Amino acid sequence: MLSNHTYSELKQIKAATYHANLVVDYFNCRLRVLEYRGNLNSLLDKVNEIVTEHSFEKVICMARQEDLLEFMAQGFMIEAMIPNYFNGSDTYFVTKYFTNKRRNSEKWMEEEKIITDILRNPRENKRTDTPFLIRKATHEDAEQLAALYNNVFQIYPTPLNNPDYIQQVMKDSTVFYVVLDNGGIVSSASAEINTTFHNAELTDCATLEAYRKHGLMKQLLVELEKELMNNGIYCAYSIARALSYGMNKSFYQLGYYYTGRLTNNCYIFDKIEDMNVWVKDLSKG
């Protein structure tokens, strides 16, 4: 099993003219700039140094609208956006690639057909009752959660097959909801809450194959939305596998809006994949 450090590290970099928080993501061969302030050109020079040092293939920056032209002048492109991400201000996923292989997606047109088919249909968010128990997860569920993620995903961009990692992210403000059948966890999803900017990523969606026709994920996402609203978090978003018709349809039917696709974003399921971005303002219902 890979250590948590092997997957990624959260780092703060400082200089006289800038500060930034970033994720050095070894597992996915990329650098993610989560927030920044100061001289953007100087910061991006440092970003390029880190990319070269680790032979990374991609940089993703959560950019503010007023900085878009400066990013584009440095070779970045806009792939998606999230309204209200920074305490009410929008953010843009701006990316830069360092290899042709990482830049080019072989599945793009197949994914385009999936998203077009989904968006063409009317939203029909039908509420269904379930015979299963749905509840908020606790630290005692970590072993079962790790087993679930290990069962569902051959590859995952974070070490969710490690119960210690799950307990740690629970302490760090990630909330899991689970579905149980006869005491066993058969489905789960989480909300990774950013307490600084008051947003949350709905993620870690997994259901055992035998239970995938019960609409469990939509019900878990609704429970997570309630949890977020109770905590004053209204900016919700998710990054879903572009090849997964079911997950993208679930977000669409729950009132989320598609805002773009991240090319060869991360290793998940069984390979590196493109990911679709979905957003929702929970304050609007």
At 227, which helix (H) or strand (E)?
helix 216-230
Taking only the tens place, the pLDDT of each residue in 182-210 is 999 999 999 999 999 999 999 999 999 99
Query: Where does the pLDDT of residue 108 fall: very low under 50, low under 70, confident under 90, or very high at 90 and above?
Result: very high
User: How many percent of the chain have pLDDT more than 90?
Assistant: 89
Given a cut of 90, whether residue 54 has pLDDT beyond it is yes
- Tokens, residue 160: 């969710």
- CB < 8 Å & 24+ apart, contacts of 5-11: 7/157, 7/158, 7/159, 8/158
CA–CA dist 281, 283 (Å, integer): 5
- pLDDT score of 222: 95
- pLDDT score of 270: 81
- pLDDT score of 1: 38
- pLDDT score of 2: 45
- pLDDT score of 269: 78
3 state DSSP class of 222: helix
Taking only the tens place, the pLDDT of each residue in 211-241 is 998 989 999 999 999 999 999 999 999 999 9
CA–CA dist 241, 266 (Å, integer): 10
Query: Where does the pLDDT of residue 243 fall: very low under 50, low under 70, confident under 90, or very high at 90 and above?
Result: very high
Which range has the worst mean pLDDT, 94-98, 158-162, 173-177, 257-261? 158-162
CB 56 within 8 A of CB 50: yes
Query: Where does the pLDDT of residue 21 fall: very low under 50, low under 70, confident under 90, or very high at 90 and above?
Result: very high
Q: What is the mean pLDDT of the chain?
A: 95
3 state DSSP class of 33: strand
Nearest to 177 by CA among 143, 151, 203: 203
What structural domains does the chain harbor? 4-103 (3.40.630.30), 108-284 (3.40.630.30)
Taking only the tens place, the pLDDT of each residue in 111-145 is 999 999 999 999 986 767 788 999 999 999 999 99
Q: How many residues does the chain have?
A: 285
User: How many percent of the chain have pLDDT more than 70?
Assistant: 97
- Tokens, residue 281: 């303002």
Average pLDDT, integer, range 159-172: 95
The pTM (predicted TM-score) of the whole model is 0.94
- pLDDT score of 226: 97
- pLDDT score of 4: 52
Given a cut of 60, whether residue 5 has pLDDT beyond it is no
